[in-house]
Structure 1
Amino acid sequence: MNREEELFKKRLKDLASAADRRGIAVFTDFMNLNELNIFHSCTREFGYVSYQLFGGYEHAERQIAAFLPDALSYSYDFPIISLKIRPLQKKFAEDLSHRDYLGALLNLGVDRSKIGDILVGEKEAIFFCEEGIAPFLQQELTRVRHTPVLVEEAAPDEIQVTEHTEVVRGTVSTVRLDSVMSVALKASRSSLVSLIEEGKVFVNGRLATSNGCQLKENDLISVRGNGRFRLLTLGGQTKKGRCVIEIEKYL
């Protein structure tokens, strides 16, 4: 681990200790994939408390951890607010990307760790943030690129998180990480090894350290800069002995 990662690990231990000492739920900020990997790698070191992870919706990539003392006997809520960004005049709105929305938020001086996933829809986006900064974002975010926008809070039962996916089918000689990535990303196995070596590939939120990692059904693979996909099924074998796989790719 580098110094920044060691400091993050120490921060996790301090939060777990605070939850145990004070007898209350204590929360992290939103963690990215690398931070989630560090979190999972050191859970034994704060085994004296339990924990829960949540990012505002099921299968969120960026998540907050709640450290919970064993004596906790009351209900708690994650400090997460969901906000919707919509154009003031939809017919004149630009086609905005995830990068556009994120850039507009960060240009307000907000730390990335205070913002969770951003789900981009047609002419609008839903994003998740820590509740403490929600009023500021609602007041200050008035434009994304050249499009005037309004930011509104959405009640949980109003949010319909629709993730766009496509199913990709193919065959592999073995259910190794690099083989499955080759089918999902339509690239050669050799060209994908560098992504694994550079620490850009995560399986179920944990850093993948070997291209020979064996996958199983429902494993979620995230590749920085290339999106994420889930291994849905392992089918039968072809006449040549190759395994038939089905992948759900998030668009």
Structure 2
Amino acid sequence: MKMRLDRTKLLNHINDSDIQSQLTKIIDKAEQCLRTHQPNATDFYEPHIIAKVSGILIQVPDLHFTIAGGYSEAERRRIVVYPDYMEYDNELEHISVLQINSLKPISHPQVLGTLTGLGIKREKIGDIITTDKYCQVIMDKTVAEFARYNIETIGRVKVTIDETGRDKISLPECQLKEITTTVASMRLDGIVAAGFNIPRQVATNLIKADKVKCNWEIAKSPAVQIEVNDLISCRKHGRIKVVEIIGTTKKDRIKIKINKLQ
């Protein structure tokens, strides 16, 4: 008997066509798992996709799923779907960890550019962790060996690549700069301007150019209202997080605390 999930019912609350397309691919994986009784792993996705698909898959009977990114703090993760009677094992995740060693520091964009330059799709790559001495890349196991044997340089820096274990993943400490400032309102453009110390018009232009994300989704409007714990990223500027609304000033401006990730 063919297993066919009701996509209309599962996706009727999703309005964004691009997100619908990504979620449909994940539902296809779940459907294949139920039909063949074999586990299946999706591509790597950003947190907002993972959150949406988790709410969908939990509605599917006879199916279990696990979210995996190689380590507990991973940002880009994949979903492993498997029959509800099957015992879970990390091997089902099909994740490899490559360590790229170099004599000079290499950056996240350089590593990502080299990998995609080989024809490896972004969706097959999880987190990229850089340190002063090496870089670690979480990848789909099916493309990791290809990357390992086809990369000799990144930029102009010679590198060596080894496969390592998940227990060897080392995250650099995240340094935060705490900013206390005031804004006229909790509009996105004002928060971006205050958090990144740029003119408000520049912030507005960045948002309109789709260079700003709120909670990992491209911001649709400068007028989006920001709440405490919202994470905002801006291309080439970094990330900020609104951590507290302290109160209002005598001039009715809102006093807030922002953490900027260094």
Does structure 1 residue 128 correspond to structure 2 residue 138? Answer: yes
Larger RCO of the pair (alpha carbons < 8 Å, separation 6+): 1
Instruction: Identify which of 17, 24, 29 aligns with 1:15.
Output: 29
Structure 2 partner of 1:80: 95
- Measured in 1, the distance between the counterparts of 2:158 and 2:137 equals 17
Q: How many residues align?
A: 243
Does 1:239 pair with 2:250? yes
Aligned ranges 1:141-220 → 2 under 5 Å: 141-169=151-179, 170-220=181-231
Instruction: Say whether the 8 Å CA contact 2:227–2:242 is kept in structure 1.
Output: yes
Q: What is the TM-score normalised by the length of structure 2?
A: 0.75
SS of 1:113 mapped into structure 2: helix
Structure 2: gaps of 5 or more residues: 1-14
1:107 aligns with 2:117: yes
Distance in 2 between residues matched to 1:50 and 1:177, nearest whole Å:
37
Residue aligned with 1:213, SS: coil
Q: Equivalents in 1 of 2:64, 2:218: separation in Å? A: 22
Q: Per the alignment, do residues 75 and 180 of structure 1 end up closer, same or farther by CA in structure 2, a change over 3 Å counting? A: same
Deviation at 1:131, TM superposition (A): 1.7
Aligned-residue CA RMSD in angstroms?
Answer: 3.2
**2-structure distance, mates of 1:150, 1:171:** 48
Structure 1 residues 58 and 240 mapped into 2: Cα distance closer, same or farther (>3 Å)? farther
Kindly provide the amino acid, as one letter, of the partner of residue 20 in structure 1: L
Provide the rounded CA distance (Å) in 1 between the counterparts of 2:166 and 2:50: 30
SS at match of 1:235: strand
* Matched letter for residue 12 of structure 1: I
Give 1:23 deviation, angstroms. Answer: 4.4
Instruction: Tell me if structure 2 keeps the 8 A contact 1:12–1:39.
Output: no
For residues 45-101 of structure 1, what are the alpha-carbon distances to aligned partners after superposition, in whole Å with 9 as ceiling and x for unaligned? 8832565444334554433233455x25522333222221112xx3xx3x4322222
1:96 aligns with 2:106: yes
User: Contact between 1:25 and 1:76, CA under 8 Å: does it hold in 2?
Assistant: no
> Could you tell me whether the CA contact under 8 Å between 1:196 and 1:209 is conserved in 2?
yes
| Runs of at least 5 residues in structure 1 that lack an aligned partner in the other structure | none
Could you say what secondary structure the match of 2:203 adopts?
A: helix
Further displaced range: 6-15 or 42-51: 42-51
Task: Name the CA distance, whole Å, in 2 between partners of 1:107 and 1:234.
Answer: 44
CA drift of 1:105 comes to 2.1
1:38 deviates by 9.4
Q: Percent identity of the aligned residues?
A: 28
| Counterparts of 1:86 and 1:55, CA distance in 2 | 21
Do 1:24 and 1:72's aligned partners in 2 also have CA atoms closer than 8 Å? Answer: no
CA deviation after TM superposition for structure 1 residue 122, in Å: 0.8
Amino acid in structure 1 at the alignment position of 2:45:
M
